[in-house]
Structure 1
Amino acid sequence: MRCVLLLKYFLPGEFVKDIFEITPEKLKERNVKGIITDLDNTLVEWDRPSATPKLIEWFKGMKENNIQVTIVSNNVEKRVKSFSDPLTIPFIYKARKPMGKAFRKAVKDMQLTKDDVVVIGDQLLTDVLGGNRNGFHTILVVPVASSDGAITRFNRKIERRIMNTLKRRGMIQWEEQTK
């Protein structure tokens, strides 16, 4: 019983193939006014320095629909700032996800409540766990790239075990999608 309760922290509220399946219309149906999103392998590949034209349009669509976006990343300031500044997207670097401080700061900075915000990311151990532990609706995306940095590669091994356990217990209601 206790194991099942702990596993729920790793269970995302939704699972989508990519960020582009998350539209302003779908978010507005849920009364979402803000997004906390991871950067690397959620929005772009971990080694891509800037946003793609398609991603720039996605950000523009959110802004036009009055949905605020804040990037919350465990990466260093230089990486997150160089990506976010040209887009004028607020960001928090060295977030220490899954710890809650950066999530709470993002919500406060957006002047919203956690009920108004979704957390989007590609990792169970940082984005989903952090979002769930702090009471947010979480959306897991398939990683943009099939390669990762060293720490993330280690996390992915753990995540695969957690996902297999969730599947065995019938807690996952989707088919895993890969690119």
Structure 2
Amino acid sequence: MRIENYLPDFAVEAVYDLTVESLRKHGIEAVFVDLDNTLIAWNNPDGTPEMKQWLHDLRDAGIRVVVVSNNTQKRVQRAVEKFQIDYVYWAFKPFTLGINRALKQFGVDKSQVVMVGDQLMTDIRAAHRAGIRSILVKPLVSHDSLKTMPNRLRERRVLKKIREKYGPINYTKGI
């Protein structure tokens, strides 16, 4: 296992810390974002006022937001339809199927997109495989759904190796 495959390009506290200005500075015109524990808490599908403002700010600036999730269509659609967000379901991260589908479906150039997620094992690894930049965020809630727990166990081992080789991942308030 190459530890570099799990190393994010950036690490920020929360997806909402990504400002229009900072995204533009890095040439980003589209944000692919994981759903659970990244955009919304897995156990709170209504989102927060902060999340709604972030989506509004990006939309007003012409920066496209696309949810790229491993969840079912029903789950993703129910979570995002009230926010009018485009989405790709059954993304099969850490593989590139969902990211590639989103790139093609929404006509986004790889150099102008970033994948944002809370998991090294799925979101960051998929971004590396797809050849796009990645941003790791802290999970919105500290406890995971049962289906995420095995990934978190593996992730702890990977984080230990990253710390040993590169030092701790430092989360900032922006990129």
Give 1:25's aligned amino acid: E
Give 1:141's aligned amino acid: V
TM-score (norm 2): 0.93
- Which residue does 1:128 correspond to in 2? 124
2:145 aligns with one of 128, 149, 163: 149
Distance 2:8 2:125 in 1: 8
- Post-superposition offset of 1:165: 0.6
How many residues are paired up? 172
Distance 1:53 1:122 in 2: 20
Residues 23-62 of structure 1 deviation map (CA, whole Å, 9 limit, x = unaligned):
1110000110001100000011111122222111100100
Give 1:167's aligned amino acid: R
Q: Is the alpha carbon distance of 1:23 and 1:39 closer, same or farther for their aligned partners in structure 2, counting shifts above 3 Å?
A: same
1:52 aligns with one of 41, 48, 53: 48
**Correspondences of 1:29-40 after superposition (within 5 Å):** 29-40=25-36
- Post-superposition offset of 1:92: 1.1
Distance 1:110 1:66 in 2: 13
The answer to whether residue 37 in structure 2 is matched with residue 41 in structure 1 is: yes
- Which residue does 1:20 correspond to in 2? 16
Residues 104-155 of structure 1 deviation map (CA, whole Å, 9 limit, x = unaligned):
1111222121111000000001100000111111000000011111121111
Residues 56-104 of structure 1 deviation map (CA, whole Å, 9 limit, x = unaligned):
1100100111100100111112211011111111111121111111101
Higher normalized contact order (CA 8 Å, seq sep 6+, divided by chain length): 2
- Which residue does 1:69 correspond to in 2? 65
2:115 aligns with one of 115, 119, 132: 119
SS in 2 for 1:169: helix
The answer to whether residue 5 in structure 2 is matched with residue 9 in structure 1 is: yes
Unaligned runs of 5+ residues in structure 2 are none
The root-mean-square deviation of aligned C-alpha atoms, in Å, is: 1.5
Distance 2:166 2:69 in 1: 31
Unaligned runs of 5+ residues in structure 1 are none
- Which residue does 1:101 correspond to in 2? 97
TM-score (norm 1): 0.91
Distance 1:93 1:175 in 2: 28
Distance 1:173 1:89 in 2: 30
Task: Give the % identical residues.
Answer: 33
Contact 1:98 1:126 in 2 (8 A): yes
SS in 1 for 2:136: strand
- Which residue does 1:159 correspond to in 2? 155
Distance 2:47 2:170 in 1: 29
Give 2:121's aligned amino acid: L
